[in-house]
Amino acid sequence: MKTYTFADRDSWLQARQGKITGSKLGGIVVKRGTGKKIGFWELCAERLGIPADDESAMARGQRLESDGVDAFMLATGKQVDTSLVLWARDDNESIALSPDGFIGDEEAVEVKCLSSARHIEALVTGEVPSDYEFQVLQYFIVNEKLKTLWLVFYDPRILAKPLFIIEVKREDVQEDVQKYLEYQRQTLVEIDEVVLRLSNF
């Protein structure tokens, strides 16, 4: 066993970068039947020289979303309307969504400016991260004319691939769209019942 001694905390932290340490092991060990955990992707980011940051996904998204839309338009030649809008279903306005951008009624754009680890994970797997599956479905649930959602991933720190796009087509998710539309309808009925009951106390 080798032992390294450090004069200061910064040097110690630097030496830990890109290594599986005791505090990181739990974020890497994969149980049978599941995919790689976030710790794996964090180590990839560290080895690429991308330091972790404390910026929240929401703050990062607000800061970089317009850059992501611009990069998408440049890459695809599509013109995206980024007007601040709310979409709501014709038959129930309580089922709604605010798109990051849209191209007419049949295409929409959702931009994700994630941590570098999450960006790398989505890039390598080519899959919609599980955290965003329902958000993707909501686009199709709310807008019945929508045929394609462009899920845009943008991280300028990943120099090799700062932008990549996952194309989600209605026919590929339609079964889940119908399932979760019905789930939302039932949930809203239950909410109305609770509100009515509590209003009559």
Is the residue at 82 inside a domain?
Answer: yes
Which residues form the domain of 100?
55-199
Is the residue at 69 inside a domain?
Answer: yes
The mean pLDDT of 69-75, rounded to a whole number, is: 96
Is the residue at 1 inside a domain?
Answer: no
Is the residue at 20 inside a domain?
Answer: no
Residue 36 has pLDDT above 50, yes or no: yes
Distance CA 192, CA 156 (A): 45
Is the residue at 131 inside a domain?
Answer: yes
Task: Give the percent of the chain with pLDDT over 90.
Answer: 31
Is the residue at 35 inside a domain?
Answer: no
Quote the mean pLDDT of the chain: 82
Is the residue at 80 inside a domain?
Answer: yes
- pTM here is 0.77
The mean pLDDT of 83-102, rounded to a whole number, is: 87
More confident residue, 75 or 87: 75
pLDDT bin (cut points 50, 70, 90) of residue 26 is low
Number of domains in the chain: 1
Is the residue at 190 inside a domain?
Answer: yes
The mean pLDDT of 146-162, rounded to a whole number, is: 92
What are 6's two structure tokens? 């450090």
Q: What is the CATH number of the domain that holds 183?
A: 3.90.320.10
